[in-house]
């Protein structure tokens, strides 16, 4: 088998992260406070995170989707604030999203190689790995995956995801597709054909209806639909305002839905260690799968948490101890407590807030949550919840700063400490 080489190619065992359990989130109070967690959202470098997961998950994850930086040598910024007028880009508020800048191709390939090696170790014997890239590096990745999966591995598909969009290119055809490489460890991988069938093109149906000889006499089951081709058209998220978070390079839920339905079953574990805005975890949660997802960026984890809070799956928030999020305190935050609700008063531009009505001083158990509405930009400032003797409120501003306010005793008003 031909092997790809680069300067500094090596595969040394990475040091595992020390994962700290920070919070459990019960969407809308569902199952609070005892329901078991169905998902894990982890802040940390995925190399250390995956390494820490090996003892529990080696060979046990049924589906891994990976959407790493593509080697574009660009910086992607996030759009924040929500509710902004999409016709007036000069008024959009921007913040740091994530970087995709590399010293050279060697360092990028090494980055990919050591992470893909861990994904292959975590993958179940009947599991599937989807690696999403584009023309910048997909050819190199194909050789790396051939090497990591070895002679027993199966290269299932090269999926082409096509889309439209503006482009400044004048010297080549517009580059409007990504490549998703799909691999398994053996022939026994999950593939749910019927879960992803789609209707035949009306022209195909008309052809078969008009002539018994069409298709060389073999008439497909037109009502059942067909297995999609390996080229997929889904519009990019910029055009689907409903699901847009403002996080850069967010992938469409429809794309992940097809992948998850085809390559996992209910109750399976789906992982995405480059989670970004949390698309994979959200779609997995909405379809009865467990999830593990991680990102090195605090903004990505905030975005994913807000999206996951809209699902019906209880999940935990963890972080690598070297990346402990800073929980600020502020005199600008006041909460008013009544018999059955908590009301927030602050000049800060809050994006998301939540309440633990029974704060134990260690792990935050989020029983109610509110978030700024994507289109209207409005944020509910009152949450229905009965609080105990000690409670805690956490909030995240649109700039991504996180605050915590502990309410020490039953009182009508609690100020920032
Ligand atoms: C292309 S984006 C993923 C977008 C995502 N699929 C979505 O739908 O929003 C790549 C993500 O990888 C994250 N990332 C880059 N290096 C990482 C690392 N070493 N560990 C964890 N996450 C990393 C970035 O912060 C970024 O959010």
Cβ 263 under 6 angstroms from ligand 1: no
Cβ 330 under 6 angstroms from ligand 1: no
Cβ 159 under 6 angstroms from ligand 1: no
386 Cβ partners below 8 Å, 6+ apart?
A: 339, 340, 357
- Predicted local confidence at residue 135, as pLDDT: 97
Strands (E), 187-282: 231-233, 269-272
Mutate to test the pocket of ligand 1, among 274, 275, 278 (most ligand atoms within 8 A of CB): 274
Q: Tokens for 193, please give them.
A: 């054909």
Instruction: Name residue 123's beta-bridge partners.
Output: 61
Lowest-pLDDT range, 2-6, 21-25, 88-92, 346-350? Answer: 88-92
Are β-strands 334-338 and 341-345 bridged in parallel, bridged antiparallel, or unpaired? antiparallel
Cβ 300 under 6 angstroms from ligand 1: yes
Determine if the peptide bond prior to 107 is cis (ω within 30°).
no
Q: In whole angstroms, what is the distance from residue 415 CA to residue 92 CA? A: 32
Q: What is the mean pLDDT of residues 135-147?
A: 98
- Predicted local confidence at residue 417, as pLDDT: 40
Cβ 69 under 6 angstroms from ligand 1: yes
The torsion angle over the Cα atoms of residues 122, 130, 166 and 174, rounded to 10 degrees, is 130
Cβ 82 under 6 angstroms from ligand 1: no
Lowest-pLDDT range, 138-142, 235-239, 276-280, 281-285? Answer: 235-239
Residue nearest ligand 1's atom 2 by CA: 276
* Nearest Cα residue to 300 out of 272, 274, 271, 328: 274
Quick one: pLDDT band at residue 409, thresholds 50, 70, 90?
Answer: low
Residue ranges, comma separated, of all CATH 3.40.50.150 domains in the chain are 19-190+229-323
pLDDT tens digit sequence for 360-402? 999 999 999 999 987 788 999 999 999 988 999 999 999 889 9
Q: How far does the centroid of ligand 1 lie from the alpha carbon of residue 306, in Å?
A: 17
Residue 412 has pLDDT above 60, yes or no: no
Q: How far does the centroid of ligand 1 lie from the alpha carbon of residue 67, in Å?
A: 7
Q: How far does the centroid of ligand 1 lie from the alpha carbon of residue 358, in Å?
A: 34
**Total-model pTM:** 0.95
- Predicted local confidence at residue 218, as pLDDT: 76
Atom of ligand 1 nearest to the CA of 45: 20
Lowest-pLDDT range, 227-236, 320-329, 343-352? Answer: 320-329
Residue 91 has pLDDT above 90, yes or no: no
- Predicted local confidence at residue 45, as pLDDT: 98
pLDDT tens digit sequence for 43-61? 999 999 999 999 999 999 9
On average, the pLDDT of the chain sits at 92
Residue ranges, comma separated, of all CATH 2.60.40 domains in the chain are 327-415
Tell me the Ramachandran region of residue 239: left when phi exceeds 0, alpha when psi lies from -120 to 50, beta otherwise: alpha
Looking at domain 19-190+229-323, which CATH architecture does it have?
3-Layer(aba) Sandwich (3.40)
Q: Tokens for 117, please give them.
A: 């090696």
- Predicted local confidence at residue 210, as pLDDT: 84
Residue nearest ligand 1's atom 24 by CA: 98
Quick one: pLDDT band at residue 142, thresholds 50, 70, 90?
Answer: very high
Residue 411 has pLDDT above 80, yes or no: no
Q: In whole angstroms, what is the distance from residue 288 CA to residue 266 CA? A: 5
Fold for 327-415, please state it. Immunoglobulin-like (2.60.40)
Q: How far does the centroid of ligand 1 lie from the alpha carbon of residue 71, in Å?
A: 12
Residue nearest ligand 1's atom 26 by CA: 276
Lowest-pLDDT range, 9-13, 41-45, 321-325? Answer: 321-325
Lowest-pLDDT range, 11-20, 169-178, 201-210, 260-269? Answer: 201-210
Q: How far does the centroid of ligand 1 lie from the alpha carbon of residue 250, in Å?
A: 10
Q: How far does the centroid of ligand 1 lie from the alpha carbon of residue 384, in Å?
A: 34
Angle at 36 between CA 30 and CA 41, to 5 degrees: 90
């Amino acid at each position: 088998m031909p092997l790809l080489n680069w300067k500094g190619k090596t595969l040394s065992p990475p040091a595992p992260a020390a994962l700290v359990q920070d919070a459990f989130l019960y969407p809308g109070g569902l199952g609070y406070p005892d329901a078991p967690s169905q998902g894990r959202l982890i802040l940390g470098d995925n190399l250390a995170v995956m390494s820490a997961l090996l003892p529990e998950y080696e060979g046990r994850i049924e589906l891994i989707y990976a959407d790493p930086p593509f080697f574009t040598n660009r910086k992607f910024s996030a759009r924040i604030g929500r509710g902004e007028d999409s016709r007036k880009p000069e008024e959009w508020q921007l913040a740091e999203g994530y970087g995709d800048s590399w010293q050279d191709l060697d360092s990028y390939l090494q980055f990919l190689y050591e992470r893909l090696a861990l994904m292959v170790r975590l993958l179940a014997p009947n599991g599937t790995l989807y690696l999403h890239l584009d023309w910048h590096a997909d050819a190199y990745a194909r050789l790396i995956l051939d090497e990591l999966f070895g002679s027993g591995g199966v290269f299932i598909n090269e999926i082409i995801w096509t889309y439209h969009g503006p482009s400044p290119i004048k010297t080549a055809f517009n580059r409007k597709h990504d490549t998703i490489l799909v691999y398994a460890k053996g022939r026994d991988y999950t593939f749910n054909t019927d879960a992803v069938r789609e209707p035949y093109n009306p022209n195909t149906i008309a052809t078969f209806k008009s002539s018994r000889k069409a298709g060389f006499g073999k008439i497909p089951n037109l009502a059942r639909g067909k297995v999609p081709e390996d080229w997929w058209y889904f519009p990019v998220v910029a055009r689907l305002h409903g699901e847009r978070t403002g996080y850069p390079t967010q992938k469409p839920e429809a794309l992940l839905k097809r992948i998850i339905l085809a390559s996992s079953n209910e109750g399976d574990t789906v992982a995405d260690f480059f989670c970004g805005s949390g698309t994979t975890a959200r779609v997995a949660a909405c379809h009865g799968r467990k999830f593990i997802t991680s990102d090195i960026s605090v903004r990505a984890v905030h975005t994913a948490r807000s999206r996951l809070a809209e699902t019906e799956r209880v999940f935990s928030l963890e972080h690598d101890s070297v990346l402990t999020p800073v929980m600020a305190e502020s005199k600008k935050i006041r909460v008013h407590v009544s018999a059955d609700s908590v009301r927030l008063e602050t000049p800060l531009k809050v994006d998301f807030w939540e309440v633990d009505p029974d704060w134990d001083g260690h792990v935050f158990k989020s029983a109610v949550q509110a978030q700024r509405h994507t289109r209207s930009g409005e944020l509910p400032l009152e949450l229905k919840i009965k609080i105990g003797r000690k409670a805690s409120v956490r909030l995240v501003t649109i700039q991504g700063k996180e605050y915590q306010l502990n309410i020490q005793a039953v009182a009508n008003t609690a100020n920032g400490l």
